[in-house]
Amino acid sequence: MADQELTDRVKELIAENAVLLFMKGTPSAPRCGFSMRTVQVLDQMGVEYGAIDVLPALQPLREVTTEISDWETFPQLYVNGELLGGCDIVEEMFESGELAKTLGVEQPEPSEPDFETSAPGEPYKSPPMQIEGS
């Protein structure tokens, strides 16, 4: 059984924050791809959220959070005191528009990718390489 004081504090944090993300790292410096993808979705939604890094706390915080949620992996997203799930569920809810409804915000327009793409059906042509000395 996890420390009762820590369990109570985690439950308080979940209750006090309308949107709370338990993640590996911080929103500005995620330390795993799943946490990074979840942060990207939340940022695209434009909602304010609290974030708790489960890495520096080592085992006790992760054990308590897992015990409360009955969810063993991170990230874990809570909205209005309820666990929504991890990265895959958050992304699915985002794609379907369900996340926007749950958060009480408008679904954002799809954003353009950050990388250059070619026309549909056309192979991507990279710029020619410059070789020094030629």
CATH number of the domain residue 74 falls in: 3.40.30.10
Give domain status of residue 19, yes or no. yes
Percent of the chain with pLDDT over 90: 56
* pLDDT of the residue at 45: 92
Burial string for 22-40 (b: 16+ CB within 10 Å, else e) reads bbbbebeebebebbbbbbb
User: Which residue did the predictor score with more confidence, 42 or 134?
Assistant: 42
Q: Is 112 exposed, middle or buried (0-12, 13-18, 19+ CB in 10 A)?
A: exposed
Does residue 50 lie within any of the structural domains? yes
Q: Is the pLDDT of residue 114 over 90?
A: no
Q: Residue 22 domain-assigned?
A: yes
Residue 71 in any domain: the answer is yes
Can you give the pLDDT at residue 111?
A: 62
pLDDT confidence of 123, banded at 50, 70, 90? low
Residue 33 CA to residue 25 CA, distance in Å, equals 10
Q: Is the dihedral of CA 35, 41, 42, 43 positive or negative?
A: positive
- Is 11 a residue whose pLDDT tops 90? yes
Report d(CA 101, CA 38) in Å as an integer.
17
pLDDT of 6 > 60? The answer is yes
> Structural domain tally of the chain?
1
Q: Among 99, 84, 87, 78, which Cα is nearest to 32's?
A: 87
Is 114 among the domain residues?
no
Q: Is residue 133 in a domain?
A: no
pTM score, two decimals?
0.75
Q: Which domain holds residue 45?
A: 4-103
Judge whether 127 lies within some domain. no
Per the domain annotation, does 73 fall within a domain? Answer: yes
CB-CB contact of 74 with 46 (8 Å): no
